[in-house]
Structures are given as C-alpha cells and as structure tokens.
Structure 1
C-alpha cells in the first residue's frame, strides 16, 4: 500500500457506495486501485498521464473520476461517511462556520470545449482562460465546517461558484446542501444549531433566512450597514446580536480550508469543467472524513 492509499477500514466505509456497473452495463472491476489513483492525483496534482503504473491505465482512472463527478457518486459517498461520523458522535451540530476561498485556475483549466459532456451535469461551466496578474479564479468553495471534538476540522457542504461572485448570496444555497442521513432511521439532519460567518455574509436576506429556520447566528455587522440602520431610526430595525466568544471559533472553518488545500489539485484548479472540479474538492473532503 502506497502513502495516502486507503486502509482496509477506510475502504470498508467507501466500497458499499460505489456503482457496480458502467454506462454499457458491464461490471467495473478493481475499484480500490482506481480510487487510490484518483486520490493520488488529487493529493499531488500531477497530470493524469503521469499517474504511476501501479494504478493502471490513466484513462480509466480519469474517466471513472469524471463519471463519478457527473452522476453524484462523490456526493453520495460524502453523505455516507458523514452519516457514519454522526452516528459515532463526531459531528458537533452546536456550531457551523461558513467561509470562502479562491482556488487559482491553472492554464490547463482553460480551453474546455463548449459541447456538452457525455455525462451531462447541471453545473457545467468551463474555466475561462487565466488572465495575466489575476488574483481571483473561477472557482470558489463555500464550506460548512462543524469542528469535531478534539480539534478535527471537516467540511459539511461545499459550493463551486465563479470567483467574481460575492459571498453573501451563496450562503443560503450552501447551507441548504447540508444533508446528513441517519442510518438508524429518521429524516436526514439538515439544520445546525448555530452558524457563524464574517462580515461578508451579513445581509438582511441571510439573517431572515436563519431566523425563519430557527438557527442562531454570529455574524458581525459592517460599519456601513450599521450606519444605514441607525440613519433610518426605528424603521431600521433592532441592532444585531453578536457574541465575540463564539466568533473566535470561526477559525475552525479557515483551518478546514487549509486542510483541503493540502491537496494540490484543490489549491490549484486543473480541471476544465466545474462539475469535475466539484468532484475533486468533494473527493478531498471525503478523504478528510475517512481519517480517524
């Protein structure tokens, strides 16, 4: 077993949720070898053609990763490992943080053909060509992270969006993506007790959404919004509550982003299609959840 490959315990958690057959109905073989090849590429960021021979044909490894990104296999695996962690009491629903990061697009991410892929996906935006001197990239991941007792940081949900989009409009969509099944029965858990975020997520729309779902929140109010509220007087509404002690835990989601970016294929976007990059980030998140 190479460094970074799945252990027997980790493989036993993932194997039941992998598809058994391909597009033509033929049975896929050697899922574990291919999966280790996908994780190797995500961790190291090497081109697909440079995968070590022990993982088999690079075309098979890439094609399976592309298909699993398109048909939602990676998303289902992430929910499965989250459900296993929740059953073991490793998810703290008392505090969930939201934050965003930019993943610079490599020149290899440009030049995607406009034709639809063989396995279509709703979010199929190609990466625009990188511009000289550009600091932002066409990939943004909004992450929800409930810290595990003991200091572990793992993402609960993620969203890939264009780099020029603002943070606040994406908060509701990424919160709606939190969905942890309950293997022992019952509806999936979708609502945390508390949400924290920085000033970028302060908006009336977000606060109204959180109040409607009965979710407490710690989001500081920017100076311009506070001044505008005071200018309106009683029509501006009541001041927003803020707990500085809870806000200190916001660094957990920043540490989670740093852990995800330890995977070089996440820190730099090499994938041409947004749905493939989403699968890459999701696979990196699965790897974090599998670690004890």
Structure 2
C-alpha cells in the first residue's frame, strides 16, 4: 500500500458496482471517485480534520461533501454490508474471530445537556431522567457516569466484520442479540 493510493485496482473493481455512476446524468463529471475514496480512507486512518487533508486528494470540501453524501444515501452502509458477505462467499473470511469492547465516556459538558439538544423530552436534563434517553443515542449510565460502549468483531486477519454501539453499562451478549 502506498502513501497516496490506498485502494488497489482489484479492490476498486470490487467497489465499483457498489458506488453510484462516476458521470452524473447531467452536468460536468465529478472528481475521480478513487481520489475521493483515498482521501476518506486517509482521514479515517490518520484522524486529521477535513481541512488538513493533503492536496493530493483534491479539495477537502469535495472529499467531505462526498463522504456526507455517501453516508446520507446509505451507499456506505451497503458497502459495509456487501463486502463482508462477498468475502465470506468467496471463502476469504476465516471465522476464527475476536470480539472486543471499548467504553467511551460522555464529555462532562454533554452529560448535563438540556434534552432539547438531545431529542428527548425537554422537561428534565439527561442526568435526571435517564430512563427516557432515546435508544438511538446509545448512552448509558454506569458507575463512572454516562458512557457508550463500542463492540467490534474482527476476523483472523484483523478485518472488521461487525461494529455495534450500545449503552455503556451493556455487556457484549445483550448487544449482540439486537
């Protein structure tokens, strides 16, 4: 893997049918999907801010907008579901798996946020009415305070298969039954 190209030609050939057409029906052609995908992968690998993407990936605004667009139209979800299924069908996935969890604490300023900022009833702040926390927030109360737990499962080659996000007090078994 080079520093500027993250996807090989074979990987690009597998991804191409899962992505929208490169040339839109009207207007000018978009920036090369490969360059934009490499920029998105670079950002995930390094954790840099969008504005700090190197120029070789094109304008950071383009990479950011394309990422938001693909996340919003469920393209990334389809890719995330179909790639492991294709790999399993071709025998590339060894089912000797590892499961691990990590807890992420809620920042102290977010712990007492008014409920109108979190989507819940506005009468009480989060810390007073923990039973009415919306389920899609995956925020739970444990002895250490509000937290979220991230569960991940990887195959024998450390390729991610499943990522589940749940409330911080949840164990792996209750999350896996969802």
1:13 aligns with 2:22: no
Alpha-carbon contact 1:4-1:40 (below 8 Å) kept: no
1:166 aligns with one of 142, 166, 170: 170
Alignment map for 1:234-273 (pairs within 5 Å): none
TM (normalized to structure 1)? 0.42
CA contact (8 A) 1:102 1:137 kept: no
User: How many corresponding residue pairs?
Assistant: 151
Match of 1:92 in 2: 94
Q: What SS class does the counterpart of residue 166 from structure 1 fall into?
A: coil
| Residue 40 (1) aligns with residue 42 (2) | yes
Structure 2: how far apart are the matches of 1:63 and 1:124?
24
Q: Which residue of 2 aligns with 1:49?
A: 51
**Residue 140 of structure 1 aligns with which residue?**
149
**TM-score, L = length of structure 2:** 0.64
C-alpha displacement at 1:49, in angstroms? 0.3
CA contact (8 A) 1:100 1:141 kept: yes
Show CA shifts across 1:119-177 (max 9, x none): xxxx97599xxxxxxx8885532223343xxxx12222112234x3312431212xxxx
Query: Deviations for 1:61-80, whole angstroms, at most 9, x for unmatched residues?
Result: 11221222233222211223
Is 1:69–2:71 an aligned residue pair? yes
What per-residue deviation string (whole Å, max 9, x for no partner) do you get for residues 216-239 of structure 1?
A: xxxxxxxxxxxxxxxxxxxxxxxx
Match of 1:280 in 2: none
Shift of 1:115: 9.7
Gap runs ≥5 in structure 1:
117-122, 128-134, 174-292
For the residue of structure 2 that corresponds to 1:158, the secondary structure is strand
CA RMSD of aligned residues (A): 4.0
Q: Whose strand proportion is higher, 1 or 2?
A: 2
Given that 1:139 and 1:160 are in contact with CA atoms closer than 8 Å, whether structure 2 keeps it comes out as yes
